[in-house]
């Protein structure tokens, strides 16, 4: 029996306008990464119509609670700016995510290489 545990991924999407189109595009990109890396999608956290300077977003707060509860092994975001626009506060969130040994995968930093050359999580 295999002891390899499938990694549980959270997908986080945010738009500052009340239109789901951008969030759906972010989700599509993140789901492709999850599929390529054979990650189990634990949940998709989406904040629609929230500024990147608002760090009390409901989905972001829920995701951080799930991270603290050990439910997530990996967080996938389309770009770093989806976490936030204030660089200091955004880095604090990224550090909180990584402190628990959680991988943070940022889609727009992945090189354009064949999948077998990339191991994210």
Q: Give residue for tokens 């760090």.
A: 55
Give kind and range of the element (H or E) at residue 8.
strand 8-15
CATH number at residue 75: 3.40.50.1390
Is 84 domain-assigned?
yes
Alpha helices in 37-106 (DSSP H): 58-68, 87-99
Tokens of 113: 């290489």
Is 2 domain-assigned?
no
Query: What does pLDDT average to over the chain?
Result: 87
Polymer length of the chain: 121
pTM of the model: 0.85
At residue 42, the pLDDT reads: 98
Burial class (CB in 10 A: 0-12, 13-18, 19+), 85: middle
Residues with Cβ within 8 Å of 8's Cβ and at least 6 positions away in sequence, in order, are 39, 40, 41, 42, 71, 72, 73, 74
Is 120 domain-assigned?
no
Say how many domains are in the chain: 1
Per residue in 105-119, pLDDT (tens digit) is 999 876 554 443 444
Is 81 domain-assigned?
yes
Residues 83-96 have a mean pLDDT of 91
**HSE (CB half, 13 Å, CA atoms) of 109?**
9
Is 44 domain-assigned?
yes
Is 66 domain-assigned?
yes
Is 3 domain-assigned?
no
Is 78 domain-assigned?
yes
Show the CA angle centred on residue 94, arms to residues 52 and 56, nearest 5°. Answer: 40
pLDDT higher than 90, residue 64: yes
Task: Determine the structural domain holding residue 58 and report its residue range.
Answer: 8-109
């Amino acid at each position: 029996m295999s002891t390899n545990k499938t990694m549980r991924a959270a997908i986080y999407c945010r738009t500052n306008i009340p239109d789901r189109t951008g969030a759906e595009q972010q989700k599509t990109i993140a789901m492709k990464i999850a599929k390529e890396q054979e990650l189990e999608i634990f949940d998709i956290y989406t904040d629609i119509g929230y500024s990147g300077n608002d760090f009390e977003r409901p989905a972001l707060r829920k995701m951080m609670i799930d991270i603290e509860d050990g439910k997530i092994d990996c967080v996938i975001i389309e770009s770093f700016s989806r976490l936030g626009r204030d660089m200091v506060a955004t880095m604090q969130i990224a550090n909180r995510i990584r402190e628990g040994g959680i991988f943070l995968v940022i889609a727009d930093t992945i090189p354009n290489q064949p999948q077998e050359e990339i191991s994210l999580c």
